């Protein structure tokens, strides 16, 4: 059967992508965060997964507010780089794996997730920031196929935290019903606490971010049981997008091994990075963080 070997978490702020494009990895204001990608890059280079399921949100690039699917996934063999108003980033198109993606699509629908299937899905910074940070070597082809799953966290009604957690569980079942020796990682993306509009503009809650990371590792079901309103109140309106990390965690076994955890809170957003190794599908390894 296929195996999910780990879950990774990463922010997807466009400012991070801009630093990567400029090769400004030593920028003093961002060094703590950028250094946090090093163990993730090393782990991925060592493990060489066959595919990464990417849980992200589109930023009114592929989908506009007149048509916003709750869940949309791409079955394309290749994903173009979206133009977000400043021209596309200098990245090669992101490869997919259509055979794997169609398998996951059928499995999710059979599992009662009525997901929108896309055969053309340009990717914006929600997907490109984490992928370019995790696989930064542009002199070589992309080493890993990406299966993007876009989640509506922008326009209400937004799916519940529990729905995202159950999506992750359904993804695990889908992967495990795929062919043998196919190794998959799941990437949860988005900032932790932040709010970018209204009276609470600039709001950040470091204490909630630490609590979220602690519970995500050891007690994810308690996080999934919270209301979306709880996430908004504790982490800001945009910070509620962290429910996408619950899909990553739901795809893993109940107990995980945390190999890496990093947190940086510049300006008005809490950024975090994690590697959770799946204890059911991975042998014992020495911690790298």
pLDDT for 47-99, tens place per residue?
999 999 999 999 999 999 999 999 999 999 999 999 999 899 999 999 999 99
What is the model's pTM? 0.95
| Residue 20 CB neighbour total at 10 angstroms | 20
Q: What number is the average pLDDT over the span 99-111?
A: 98
For the chain, give every domain's residue range: 3-278
pLDDT at 197 (0 to 100): 81
How many residues appear in the chain?
Answer: 289
Fold that domain 3-278 belongs to in CATH: Protocatechuate 4,5-dioxygenase; Chain B (3.40.830)
pLDDT at 147 (0 to 100): 98
Q: Is the pLDDT of residue 234 over 90?
A: yes
pLDDT at 73 (0 to 100): 98
The residues that are catalytic are 125, 194
pLDDT at 281 (0 to 100): 80
pLDDT for 202-231, tens place per residue?
778 899 999 999 999 999 999 999 999 999
The chain-wide mean pLDDT, for the chain, equals: 94
Distance between CA atoms of residues 6 and 49, nearest Å: 10
Q: Is the pLDDT of residue 284 over 70?
A: no
Helix (H) or strand (E) holding 7: strand 3-10
Distance between CA atoms of residues 73 and 117, nearest Å: 5
């Amino acid at each position: 059967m296929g195996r999910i070997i780990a879950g990774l978490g990463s922010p997807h702020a466009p400012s991070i992508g801009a630093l990567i494009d400029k090769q400004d990895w030593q920028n003093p204001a961002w060094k703590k965060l950028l250094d946090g990608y090093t163990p993730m890059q090393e782990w991925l280079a060592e493990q060489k997964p066959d595919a990464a399921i990417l849980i992200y949100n589109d930023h009114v690039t592929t989908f506009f507010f007149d048509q916003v699917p709750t869940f949309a996934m791409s079955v394309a063999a290749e994903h173009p780089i979206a133009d977000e108003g400043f021209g596309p980033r200098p990245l090669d198109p992101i490869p997919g794996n259509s055979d794997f993606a169609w398998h996951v699509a059928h499995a999710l629908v059979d599992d009662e997730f009525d997901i929108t299937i896309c055969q053309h899905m340009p990717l914006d910074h929600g997907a490109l920031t984490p992928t370019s940070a995790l696989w930064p070597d542009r002199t070589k082809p992309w080493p890993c196929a990406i299966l993007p799953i876009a989640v509506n966290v922008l326009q209400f009604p937004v799916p519940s935290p529990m729905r995202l957690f159950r999506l992750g569980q359904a993804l695990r079942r889908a992967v495990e019903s795929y062919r043998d020796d196919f190794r998959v990682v799941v990437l949860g993306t988005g900032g932790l606490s932040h709010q970018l509009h209204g009276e609470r503009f600039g709001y950040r809650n470091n204490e909630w971010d630490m609590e979220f990371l602690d519970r995500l590792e050891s007690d994810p079901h308690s996080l999934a049981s919270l209301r979306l309103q709880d996430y908004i109140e504790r982490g800001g309106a945009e910070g509620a997008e962290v429910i996408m990390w619950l899909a990553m965690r739901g795809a893993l076994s109940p107990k995980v091994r945390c190999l890496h955890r990093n947190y940086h809170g510049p300006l008005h957003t809490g950024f975090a990075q994690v590697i959770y190794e799946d204890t059911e599908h991975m042998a014992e390894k020495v911690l790298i963080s």
